[in-house]
Structure 1
Amino acid sequence: MTFVFYCVLIQISFTIITSLTYSCSLNSTCGCSLNSVSLTKIIGGEDARVDTWNWAVSIRIRNAHTCGGSLISPELILTAAHCLNSISRISSLSITAGSIYLSQIKQQRSVSEIAIHRNYTSDTYANDIAIIRLSSPFDMNVGSLGLICLPQNIEEYPSKDLTVAAIGWGKLTTSIDAVSNTLKQVTLKTIADNDTTCLRTIKNNQVQFCASAQDGEKDTCQGDSGGPLMLFSNDKWYLAGITSYGIGCALPGYAGVYTRVSVYETWIKCFLENNTHEKVFYLFVFYDNSSQFLMENKNTI
């Protein structure tokens, strides 16, 4: 028994964990956190450092974390449609930001309206994208808040075999119901549409793409939905995808599926520019502060 234990210690002592640090200019208007991001290749992911991923938010129902989201302006959150599709009362929603810990609330806001893409399909998770407008903007000068950069509508963005990072407070294993109190980060690779691991899960490769780890032991899970999948490019972090769905969590042979954000550049701009004329062409649900339903517009283009 003693000899076996000694051999294990020797093996561990020679294990090399590689890491890569991503640094960007603090003068950037988006895609740059207060602290540099360091990603390792630890199986299953790792805790995020304090004051990194400054655009990460927790979407809560009755103050319990349910999904992630990304700050794209001081008052707008980009997330997954399936996170909001069953919400009956907007008063149950709140958004927290500014901390990597769910238990540490630095800034919290209620929600004034939600918008779900009119072509969202719950059967296939196609167009799994939604926007939340806060009742009042986050104070970007308090705590470590920042905005994620949005990609342009480039064909097949992101391309295959790129290193990307996913973050979230989701479950660490399917056998445990509790979400993580600490924000987790994991390094993945984008997968070609015709790869077997992607073909088994993806439904629409125009608006979705796959990402996974070669070892099959790193993935997003329940509670990570709506959170960002990010690509570091031109010294900034870009929102390449939104965590959408998968078959189990970290199952070998099954890649995770993410909403392809670049496809929705025009749709997102409507909200950033507060273009109410264009918004009516999408499924858009308005609520007042008392959470009473006001209008639902399902006009088609």
Structure 2
Amino acid sequence: MNVAVSPNNNTVARKPKNRAWERFKANRMAFISMFILIGLVLVAVLAPWIAPHDPAEQDLLNKLKPPSADHWFGTDDLGRDLLTRVMYGARVSLAVAIFSVIFNLLIGITVGSLAGYYGGKTDSILMRFVDIMLAFPQFFLLITVVTLLRPNLFNIIVVFVLFGWMGKSRLLRGQILSLKNREFVDAARTIGMSDFRIIFRHILPNAIAPVIISATLQMGSMILTESSLSFLGLGIQPPQASWGNLLQSAQSLTIMTKAPWVPFIPGFMIFLTIMCFNFIGDGLRNAFDSK
């Protein structure tokens, strides 16, 4: 005789978000990278309180000193503490990446949702505008606009927002096109839900995962682009520190040969942060993709 066994009360079906978190934790590099990035963000936020020196304080008697107990990362060509300037540089580089991507997401999600859901003329107009924006060489356009504007943190974030949202809008549009005629969307229309509620409560949660992954990977690209602009002298201007202008100020042959730690440390921080974002992006892709 077959006896139906009821499931144990302690056994609870795992929700999709719990399964995604478990898959993410299983990716060891992504999980470690997440904690490294959390540490970098905390250091950047707390830099004014935990930095051992003033970032603009010069000590010409201690120029290009190697790492020591007083200066853990050594000093630069003006005798400034390199550890302190790397901490303050993290504030700039991470702020550019995080805030630029947040606003890119807001614009990309709005444009992609409208184009994908309504289709027709709305889709044509919005996507042709996206195509025009994508046709411009992005980096040279960034250089041109930053040259015309005053190169500071706010203007750099504005430029990155203006020219960084198009890929997300196209990606989200494709996702919404594949979902807007599904049964659960038709059911929501049948009971009289507004278009806004259908898009943002029913369609978007099922379409957002690839966009989040793309945004995570873009953060590394933003840091590299900001560092490139600062290295060219078009980004954050001294005495304010960013990882890019720390590299720019260390490009003389004398510094590279006599004090290699000066260019190596900010370069390594850029490398480490970009790799962490890339590993997290890979981990999120595996977490959201059940296959």
Flag the structure with higher strand content: 1
Higher relative contact order (CA 8 A, sep 6+): 2
Larger Rg: 2
Flag the structure with higher helix content: 2
Bin for the TM-score computed over the shorter chain: under 0.3
Give me the TM-score of the superposition, normalised by structure 2: 0.26
